[in-house]
Amino acid sequence: MADAVVIPFPTTATAASEQQRLRHALTGLQDALAEQKRALSDWRFSMTELGIGVAGLGQALGCYQDSLGAVQTRLGALRSEAVKLDSWAEGAANR
């Protein structure tokens, strides 16, 4: 009997240790929730910055479009003048 192995029976958890485990789990959940709130706040801030950047880009593109419209108007006027000069030159050459 000197070779006998004693196997300990599992002990039941005490109410105090269960309460401690629950407190530890609750603390972990609260930390995770706080981290989620920070991440959501950071994401919202990033979306706001992106919106501001996109709005600025839209405004810049609007100005560029206006500028191109003005160039088109000036080119139309120059073409009209070129057509008039061409007509005058042909008239002068045919005299």
Taking only the tens place, the pLDDT of each residue in 8-54 is: 877 777 878 889 999 999 999 999 999 999 999 999 999 999 999 99
Percent of the chain clearing pLDDT 70 (strictly above): 98
Give the DSSP per-residue string, 8-61: PPPPPPPHHHHHHHHHHHHHHHHHHHHHHHHHHHHHHHHHHHHHHHHHHHHHHH
Percent of the chain clearing pLDDT 90 (strictly above): 73
Q: Name the residue with higher pLDDT: 89 or 39.
A: 39
Supply the pLDDT for residue 1.
Answer: 56
pTM over 0.95: no
